[in-house]
Structure 1
């Protein structure tokens, strides 16, 4: 008997969500998120600022009603990261932080599937751009698991990034 996991993508509200986001980003396991030492107020201010930017968005991802991840999108044609690789029309950049805690069977797979479905629901999105810290072995392994084309490593102002690119065509052809 298989069970399904209900995935929902909910816009972050800085005042409501700052404490939860802080509780995730202040843990050593989130070192690559770059917010270990930020107090709750600063986390709230960061996400309030993100809410005001037309090229950025932040979401909490819920699995069966409980928040399990922080998901952010950006437009590489506006964001400075786009200056470090060959941008293409239809690119959408993403960041994903999976929250701490044990997950039931199938939650991680459902989370990745649900987020991909959510991104691809916008027909303007032709390619997902990933740029995790190159030292983050778990994130780089996810790129491979998703079937992303591994791009160059690039020195950004705050990290050495490993670019990865996942086209709509590759996702739906089942290369993951």
Structure 2
């Protein structure tokens, strides 16, 4: 199990010299932490998963068993501090809004503890997660669809090289569809 876990971890160094690790979400280790994070005031408006415990457990169980996505915990210097989802765009609801290629991925994230907010960590961590995603050489694009009201996250994605495409009306929010190109620059997604 430990060898398998090692294969699912990605470790790199942030610009400030601290180590960041992305590891697979573990129901046993992480579900209570994620429940707490989803009930934080800075998370609720953008995730809307401040659910009762049993409902939340059912949601996470469905998510962890959903083959089109992977759940990650971002760890800085051995302290879990962020939650990430990467997903197959063609199999996600986002695939209804653009013609997803077979290997296009998407990304969602949140920082849990307030002590990590406003410290300039989002940009380098998004860049590190992009490095993780692009380890699969078939991936050419990564999508994001931050809430159109989440100006901070939109700013972070822009600084990381994502390009805005268009606002999209999703069931739980109006998002800004954004795309990051790995090998080819300046292309447009069919709107």
Taking structure 1 as the reference length, what is the TM-score of the superposition?
0.86
Partners of 2:166 and 2:127 in 1: CA distance: 25
- Asked whether the equivalents of residues 76 and 92 of structure 1 are also in contact (C-alpha less than 8 Å), the reply is yes
- Asked whether the equivalents of residues 88 and 103 of structure 2 are also in contact (C-alpha less than 8 Å), the reply is no
Moved over 3 A (4+): 103-110
Aligned to 1:120: 134
Aligned to 1:174: none
> Would the alpha carbon gap of residues 170 and 65 (structure 1) be closer, same or farther in structure 2, given more than 3 Å must change?
farther
Unaligned runs of 5+ in 1: 172-176
Partners of 2:16 and 2:85 in 1: CA distance: 27
Deviates more, 1:60-69 or 1:43-52: 43-52
Matched, 1:163 2:173: no
Once the two structures are TM-superposed, the CA of residue 109 in structure 1 deviates from its matched residue by 4.4
Once the two structures are TM-superposed, the CA of residue 12 in structure 1 deviates from its matched residue by 1.1
**What is the root-mean-square deviation of aligned Cα atoms in Å?**
2.1
Which of residues 13, 16, 29 is equivalent to 2:26? 13
Match runs of 1:23-102 below 5 Å: 23-30=36-43, 31-36=45-50, 38-102=51-115
Unaligned runs of 5+ in 2: 1-14, 186-191
- Asked whether the equivalents of residues 56 and 72 of structure 1 are also in contact (C-alpha less than 8 Å), the reply is yes
3-state DSSP class of the match of 1:7?
strand
Aligned length: 169
Taking structure 2 as the reference length, what is the TM-score of the superposition?
0.80
- Asked whether the equivalents of residues 90 and 124 of structure 1 are also in contact (C-alpha less than 8 Å), the reply is yes
Partners of 1:106 and 1:32 in 2: CA distance: 19
Aligned to 1:134: 148
